Structure 1
């Protein structure tokens, strides 16, 4: 039994997937990016709230907090994650012409 476990561990340790994961280093694998949503005078609160919910899949109250921050401070960090995730979130927000920017943390 012990030798089977050792064999299984050794075999899984050398899979191409594991090697690929080891090779993928750098900031794209971390939550090193963030989506910043900027204020504009073109959208209603409800439009922004609904789009934030759609983009980051959050509760209405969280979307309302982000929307209020955008309104009062001019911007809000609405999401942090990998570059691919940030691009997805940003593109959903921009579907209704909201202004966003992806920044590094």
Structure 2
């Protein structure tokens, strides 16, 4: 018989990588489309989505999410469903 040992790995342990999601202004999406997609992607309220959309429109871009990289990927994928111009910054 061989000598065995057991290794426990905590599945909840993650290395969190901080990331930001930026949405850029464009000339083809309506305010309503962007607002709806922001609510869907970042699960914010209507007022927050409206404020972010206005910032995107007036400043050319806005940080719409700050958090873990994995979550940022999920947010980005949802925003890209309607071809919004999005970037993740690490």
TM-score, scaled to structure 1? 0.74
For the pair shown, the structure with the greater C-alpha radius of gyration is 1
Which residue in 2 is equivalent to 1:33?
19
Which residue in 2 is equivalent to 1:99?
85
Gaps of 5+ in 2: 1-6
Gaps of 5+ in 1: 1-13
Structure 1 consecutive aligned stretches of length 4 or more whose deviation exceeds 4 Å: none
Structure with bigger RCO (C-alpha 8 Å, 6+ apart): 2
Which residue in 1 is equivalent to 2:10?
17
Taking only aligned residues, the RMSD between alpha carbons, in angstroms, comes to 1.8
| Count of matched residue positions in the alignment of Structure 1 and Structure 2 | 84
Structure 2: distance between partners of 1:33 and 1:16: 26
Q: Which has the higher strand share?
A: 2
